[in-house]
Amino acid sequence: MENCVNLADLRRAAIRRAHPIVFDYIDGGADDEHTLARNATAFADYELMFRVLVGVESVDPGTRILGQQTTLPYIASPAAGNRLFHTEGELAVARASAEAGIIYCLSTLASASIEAVAEVSKGPKWFQLYVWKDRALVKEMLDRARAAGYQALILTVDFPIAGNRERDLKNQLFIPPKIRPRHVWDALKRPGWTVDYLFSPPIRYANLSQDSPAISLADFVAAQLNAAFDWHDVEWLLGEWNGPSVIKGIVRTDDARRAVATGFNGIMVSNHGGRQLDFSPAPIDVLGSIIDEVGAAAEVILDGGVRRGTDVLKALALGARAVSAARPYLYGLAAAGYPGVRRALDLVDRSIRRDMALLGVRSVAEIDSSFVRRTPRQA
C-alpha cells in the first residue's frame, strides 16, 4: 500500500488482487461507458485560479454537511455488496471513514447489516434507500436505521430498473459470484481473493435477509424495485423518516426544484457513476445550474468522477457543499481490505490539504467562484 501514491495505483493494485468478474463490477458502467469516462474527464474542462502570498502554513478542510461536522468535504458514497471485493466489506469502509472523520453512507444492498455497521462506526452515518414496492419493508429499514443512529436518509432515484452493464453480463456475474469453469484460471491467478471468498461466510444482502444467500434474493430485488414510485410516494417516505434527507440522482434543474419543494435538505448531483443511462451529463457540468436553481434552500453534493483533490476544489468553487465517491475506496478495499480503504482515504485527505495550500486558501469557507473558470477552449 505504501507504494500506491494515487488512486490510479490503488486501482491497479485492485486489478492484481480481485477476480476480474468482481473488479469489473466496481470499474464498469453502462452501454459503451461514455458517461463513466466523461464523469472523470469533464473535470479537465475547468481550471483553478490560484492566489499567492496569503499565508497557508496550515489549512483546515473541515466543513459542516447537513449540520454534521466533518474533517473533509468528502463523503463515502453508498455501494452495494462490498464483501464481493474483500471479506471485511462495509465494516472496513465504515470503520476507516469514522477514523478519517468523514460521513459514511450505507447501501440498502450492503453485505453487512445496518446494526453491524453501527457497531463498528461511531462516526457520522447516512443510510441509502432504494425504492421498494413493499412499503412495510421500506418502513422497517427506516426504523432500523433510525434506531441504529443513522443521521440522514439518502433516497436514490435514478435506479427504477438496472442499467445495461455489459461487463457484468459478459462475466455472468452473480451475487455471490459463481466461479464457472471459464473463471477458474483467473481465480487461480488471484489466490488472495479466491481464498478470501472460499473460506469466508456466504455473501448476503444483509439488510434484506439474515439467513438467505444473496443469490436467492436476486429475483426478489428485481421484482421489488418500484419503477412506478413518484413524487407523491416521496412525500410519504419523507414523512416516515422525519429527519434530514438527501435525494441522489439529480441532473435537471426542474427535478432539483421539485426536490426542494418536496422537502429534501440535500441534493446529490449524480448519474449513478455512469452505471445507469449512458450519455447522461457529467455531474460537474450540471452542478452550477442546479446550485443556481436551488440557492440556499438545499445543500448540493457532487457525486461522480472525483479522483483528485483538485476535483474536490473545483466542485467547491462551483458551489458544492461537498463531494461523494465510492470507487476510490472500493479500489482500496479490493486491493487490501481495511488497510487499502485507509490508504485511499489518506490519499484523499493529503491531496485536498496539499491542493488547498497550492490554491491559496486556508479553509473551505474561503473557496468561491473566483477560484475556477472554464478552460478557454471550453468557454
- Residue 195 domain-assigned (yes or no): yes
Q: Is 272 a catalytic residue?
A: yes
The DSSP result for 4-69, as a single string, is: --SHHHHHHHHHHHS-HHHHHHHH--STT-HHHHHHHHGGGGEEE----SS--SS-B--EEETTEE
Q: Calculate the dihedral angle through the C-alpha atoms of 165, 281, 230, 266, rounding to the nearest 10 degrees.
A: 110
How far is residue 226 from each of residues 42, 156, 162, 255, 374, measured CA to CA in Å?
A: 32, 12, 11, 19, 39
CA atoms of 12 and 24, how far apart (whole Å): 12
Q: What is the pLDDT of residue 133?
A: 84
Rounded to 10°, the helix 309-317/283-294 angle is: 30
- 40 part of a folded domain: yes
pTM for this predicted structure:
0.94
Q: What is the pLDDT of residue 204?
A: 83
Beta-carbon count within 10 A of 94 CB: 27
Q: Is residue 222 part of a domain?
A: yes
In this prediction, residue 212 carries a pLDDT of 57
Tally the domains of the chain.
Answer: 1
In a domain, 369, yes or no: yes
Residue 277: exposure state from Cβ atoms within 10 A (0-12, 13-18, ≥19): middle
Residues of the chain with pLDDT under 50: 216
CATH number of the domain at 205, please. Answer: 3.20.20.70
- The pLDDT, as a whole number, for residue 209 is 66
Would you put residue 132 in left (φ > 0), alpha (ψ -120 to 50) or beta? beta
Range of the domain at 330: 7-374
Question: Could you tell me if residue 200 is inside a domain?
Answer: yes
Q: Give the model confidence (pLDDT) of 143-157 as tens digits.
A: 999 999 999 999 999
- Is residue 338 assigned to a domain? yes
Instruction: List, in sequence order, every residue forming a beta bridge with 246; answer none if it has no partner.
Output: 154, 266
Residue 1 domain flag: no
Catalytic site residue from 34, 86, 232, 272: 272
- Domain membership flag for residue 379: no
pLDDT of residue 36: 96
